[in-house]
Amino acid sequence: HPVSATAQTRPDFSGIWIASATDITLLLLPGEEISFTPYGADRYKKLDQANSPSYKCLPYGPTRGLQSTNPFQIIQNDGLFAIITEHIDYRLIYTDGRRHPEDILDYPEWMGHSTARWEGDTLIVDTIGMRPETWLDRGGLMHSEQLHLIERFDRTGMNEITWTVTVEDPVFFTHPWKYSLKLARLDFPRLIPAR
C-alpha cells in the first residue's frame, strides 16, 4: 500500500472503509462495562429511537459516523487526517501538534475538535467539544458536552484497521469504558454522497 513520501515511517490509512455496528455495547473489550450515572440511566431508559439524529438529518458525530452503514473515506497527509462520509459529514483530525482551542467547550462542534499524535505506528486521537445532540451509536447511547474520546487507529492488515475507543463522560457514565471495532477496506473508486 502506498506511503506518504514525507512520512515514510507512518502507516497510510488512506482509502475507503466501512465498519457497520448498531450497538457498541456488544463491542466492549474484555472486562469492560458501561455503568450509568443516575442521570445517564434515566436518559437511556427514556430513549426514543424517533429522536435519532439521523432521522433529523443531523450530523452523526465522530463515533456514530464511523459505525454507520455508509462507507467513509480517510484522506491523510503530514498534518491532517480527514474522514469524509457518504452522509456528507466530515471530520478533521489535526496531527500537526496543535492543541484544542481554549474556547472549544463554549462553541462545540458536531464532530468535536480532534488532535492526534503518533505512538509508533498507532494514531492516537483526542477529541473534545462535541455537541450533545449526537449519539455514540445507532443503539441510542447518548452523551453530554463533557464527552471525551480517546481513539486508537491501528493498521492490523492491508485491508483492516483496528479502531479502539475510550469513552469518558462523567455526566452519563460513572467511569470510562472501551470498545473496539474492525474497519474494513472497500474496493470502491469513490464515495457516492446521499441525495
Model pLDDT for residues 110-148, shown as the tens digit of each residue: 999 999 999 999 999 999 999 999 999 988 899 999 999
Q: Write the CB contacts of 5 (distance below 8 Å, at least 6 apart in sequence).
A: none
Q: What is the pTM of this model?
A: 0.91
**What's the mean pLDDT when you consider all of the chain?**
89
N-term to C-term CA, the chain? 32
> In whole angstroms, what is the distance from residue 113 CA to residue 99 CA?
9
Q: In the beta sheet, which residues pair with residue 181? A: 163
Q: Write the CB contacts of 52 (distance below 8 Å, at least 6 apart in sequence).
A: 135, 138, 140
pLDDT at residue number 57: 81
